[in-house]
Structure 1
Amino acid sequence: MDKKKVVVGLSGGVDSSVAAWLLKEQGYDVTGVTMQIWEKEGEEAQEEQGGCCGFSAVEDARRVAASLGIPYYVMNFREEFKANVTDYFIDEYLHGRTPNPCIACNRYVKWESLLRRSMEIGADYIATGHYGRIDRLPGGRYALRTSSNVAKDQTYALYNLTQEQLAHTLMPVGEYTKEEIRKMANDIGLRVADKPDSQDICFVPDGDYASYIVRCVGTSRRIEPGNFVLSDGTVVGRHKGIIHYTVGQRKGLGLALGHPVFVLEIRPETNEVVIGTHEESLAYEVRANRVNFMSVEDLTEERRVWAKIRYNHKGAWCRVCKTGADEIRCVFEEPQRAVTPGQAVVLYDGEHVLGGGTITGAA
């Protein structure tokens, strides 16, 4: 019987590198691929962009593949990345929402596009260095299970994967801690063993999202200054443009009202940023659409689940029910701060991802 073929997405980091090594050790026929996502070709430009798919990442991945003795290719995903990640990212900010580009990239580029192309060249699976695990449940459905390394768990950013994608995915590092992964890399002599983790969004390495958007789209009404207002409409100052703000933000507002204030809402139609107190920033109810269920085919009755409303949220208990064909409502047992439209609410049933959706608002 032929060995199963797997294409590993090599980012040039230690996690994906060890993932490739683990799969080779397990007897898979492994090929390494780096996804090229930038429009600019120059090495200088890609070096500046850095992140998981910049020029230095390609060189690191190429060296890892050579060290492991596996074939290595760079695949062009520029069009897919622009359409599904950067264009979406810009549009969300212009409409007063705060996107999560990593979720979009995972779903539509790292999985949908890479998986399709990998299957076309005869692969059985794709694999990544994400910290998560995949189980096939008794009913036959596939579901993500949280990583053994709780501090590094990445299932929140992967909740939107489909059953087909999960069925053809391997996540070998999910059973290990980061320290164990780095030790393996050192033991087998990989140069990336001590390479720092990337922290920022890959296409905005300096973290200045607003400047990136301005460079891409130029000036428009939604980037022009407008009013800071209270919930009752009282004007209390001027803001720099709605793309500079996100719900829950406290720092960088430039307001001196004698007490801490937070962004409560962004209103693109009137170019207003609503601010208020900490108490006003709390909400019990979260609404979401663009729902993807994972461990269940559909939600047929109200359930008590553990939920996260952003990547670094510790999570909290809520009751979730469907309120429409593609809409859910989560009512938390304790009020949550900074429910942010555009972010994801991800639901957990024990260790497994039940599903999730894109937050549309709070109450």
Structure 2
Amino acid sequence: MKVVAAMSGGVDSAVAAARAVEAGHEVTGIHLALSRNPQSYRSGARGCCTIEDSNDARRAADVIGIPFYVWDLSDRFHTEVVEDFMDTYAAGETPNPCLRCNEKIKFAAVLDRALALGFDAVATGHYAQLTESADGGVELHRAIDEGKDQSYVLGVLDERQLRHSLFPLGDTPKAEVRREAAERGLLVADKPDSHDICFVADGDNAGWLEEKLGERAPNHGGDIVDEASGEVLGQHEGTYRYTVGQRRGLKLGRPAADGKPRFVLDIEPVSGTVTVGPRERLAVERIHGVRPRWCGAAPTELAGPDVTVQLRAHGAEHRATVRVSSGPAGSDDPSQVDIALHEPAYGIAPGQAAVIYDGSRVVGSATIARTERVD
């Protein structure tokens, strides 16, 4: 096959490209230029989106012996990922930009361009596995290395995209990937993994949002209110600085009557109200999702001991029963996803993704629109 290897400049994508070559594919390496101004993204060798990363990717391609190009997708990245990040926070929700990047950029814009240029597939360094289903389809499964599994951020891919994807590292622990990189002479073998949001230069989400949102922010300040008493406990400088489940940075100045810490329970961006309360009030037992994305055929109901949902990129699995129904008449959403958790989960925020599993298989995902707390 003719394969495009998306090379971020990190160790994983470099080894994935090398393995694709060894598998007999005709491989071309590409690096995505995602910033309109590269200096505005964080500096340092962190494995994603910097000038140094582009140079590291080019050097790795030279060692592997494959052609290498840079694809400028900065405008689309800004619209689909950065603007979405700002809009979601401004709406009082909590986005996952890496998941959105996979959906809109790496496996939409990149894959579409690759197919148009005559390539057959896109290979990445994601830790996940693809297998053939009983009916000849393709299934997305968790990686062997549970600590590095990235199937959660791939839960937005449909079956067509999966058919044109390669994940060469899914059957290998991360430590072995680093050893292999060193044996291949790849200088990125010991390069640190990237953990921060690539377009937030210093990792300060709140500061970045304050600068970028400007007058777009619906409320630059408001009250921090105790849920139980309704008492105003303090003031804040913008709802975008908070997320449901947050404990640190509330700066209330005085403890709760029972001495227990307070957590953010709710965010109302229009009035600017941030509601806080005890941890037990974060307990959620039902989740309502919208904009589902299915990795195969859309289900109507999923139940049983192997059905789980994951609510954060590296969060725990929660046993659940999942039902899919038609959206309201006239709605932009053709279907809605209702998730009943068998045991409560804590600190679940609208805007996050609920990724649904049946055993190790990824069934699909939905964006959390609202939750219902335990009474």
TM-score range, shorter chain: over 0.9
Q: Partners in 1 of 2:134 and 2:181 — Cα distance?
A: 35
State the match for 2:314 in structure 1.
312
Q: Do the aligned partners of 1:141 and 1:294 also contact (CA within 8 Å) in 2?
A: no
C-alpha RMSD over aligned residues? 1.6
| Structure 2 partner of 1:154 | 150
Shift of 1:134: 1.2
| Change over 3 Å in CA distance of 1:221–1:188 after alignment to 2 | closer
Q: What SS does the corresponding residue of 1:48 show, helix, strand or coil?
A: coil
Q: How does 1:68-83 map to 2 (within 5 A)?
A: 68-83=64-79
The answer for the alignment partner of 2:274 in structure 1 is 273
Q: CA deviation at 1:65?
A: 0.6
Task: Work out the CA distance in 2 between the residues paired with 1:278 and 1:197.
Answer: 32
Tell me the equivalent position of 2:330: none
In structure 1, C-alpha distance between the alignment counterparts of 2:23 and 2:167, rounded to whole Å: 13
Q: What secondary structure, in the 3-state scheme, does the structure 2 residue paired with 1:123 have?
A: coil
The counterpart of 1:27, out of the listed 19, 24, 27, is 24
**How many angstroms apart in 1 are the aligned matches of 2:213 and 2:322?**
38
- Quote the Cα distance in structure 2 between the aligned partners of 1:140 and 1:52: 35
**Structure-2 residue corresponding to 1:236:** 233
2:353–2:367 contact (8 Å) kept in structure 1:
yes
**Would you say 1:360 and 2:361 are equivalent positions?**
no
Indicate the residue corresponding to 1:193 in structure 2.
189
The answer to which of 216-225 and 205-214 deviates more is: 216-225
Verify the 8 A CA contact 1:341 1:359 in the aligned structure 2: yes
Which residue in the other structure is 2:284 paired with?
A: 283
1:338 Cα deviation (Å)?
Answer: 0.6
Distance 1:47 1:56, change over 3 A: farther
SS in 1 for 2:153: helix
1:330 aligns with 2:339: yes
Alignment partner of 1:257 is 2:259: no
User: 1:81-96 counterparts in 2 under 5 A?
Assistant: 81-96=77-92
Instruction: Show structure 1 runs of 4+ deviating over 6 A.
Output: none
**Would the aligned equivalents of 1:159 and 1:355 in 2 still touch at CA under 8 Å?**
yes
CA contact (8 A) 2:301 2:323 kept: yes
Structure 2 counterpart of 1:339, one-letter code: I
Aligned length: 357
TM-superposed CA distance for 1:244, in Å, is 0.5
Distance 2:250 2:47 in 1: 28
- Residue 287 of structure 1 deviates from its aligned partner by 1.2
Measure the CA separation in 2 of the matches of 1:14 and 1:221: 38
- Whole-Å Cα distance in 2 between the matches of residues 298 and 126 of structure 1? 24
Change (3 A) 1:47 1:229: closer
User: What amino acid does structure 1 have at the position aligned with 2:363?
Assistant: L
Query: Residue in 2 aligned with 1:53?
Result: 49
SS in 2 for 1:122: coil
- Deviation of 1:215 (Å): 2.1
Identity %: 38
Cα offset, 1:240, TM superposition: 2.0
Matches for 1:128-143 after TM superposition, within 5 Å: 128-143=124-139
| Alignment-derived partner of residue 178 in structure 1 | 174
Matched position secondary structure for 2:170: helix
* 1:303 is the counterpart of 2:303: yes
Does the Cα contact within 8 Å between 1:51 and 1:201 map onto a contact in 2? no
Counterpart AA for 1:39: R
Q: Are 1:248 and 2:254 matched, yes or no?
A: no
AA aligned opposite 2:285: Y
Q: How far 1:357 moved relative to its partner?
A: 0.4
Q: Matches of 1:191 and 1:152 in 2, distance apart? A: 21
Per the TM alignment, residue 266 of structure 1 is displaced from its structure 2 partner at its CA by 0.5
Counterpart contact for 1:294–1:355, Cα < 8 Å? yes
Pairing of 1:189-228 with structure 2 (within 5 A): 189-220=185-216, 222-228=218-224
Structure 2: distance between partners of 1:23 and 1:193: 18
Give 1:321's aligned amino acid: R
Letter in 1 for 2:248: K
List alignment gaps of at least 5 residues for structure 2: 328-334
SS of residue in 1 equivalent to 2:101: helix
Q: Distance in 2 between matches of 1:236 and 1:329?
A: 35
TM-score, length-scaled by structure 1: 0.94
Cα distance between partner residues in 1 of 2:219 and 2:52? 33
Distance of 1:46 and 1:263 partners within structure 2: 29
Q: Secondary structure of 1:291's match? A: strand
Contact 1:51 1:203 in 2 (8 A): no
Aligned equivalent of 1:107, options 103, 107, 129: 103
Q: CA deviation at 1:306?
A: 1.0
Q: Give, as a single letter, the amino acid of the residue that structure 2 aligns with 1:262.
A: F
Greater alpha carbon shift after TM alignment, 84-93 vs 207-216: 207-216
Whole-Å Cα distance in 2 between the matches of residues 246 and 284 of structure 1? 19
**1:163 correspondence with 2:159:** yes
| Structure-1 separation of matches of 2:265 and 2:248 | 13
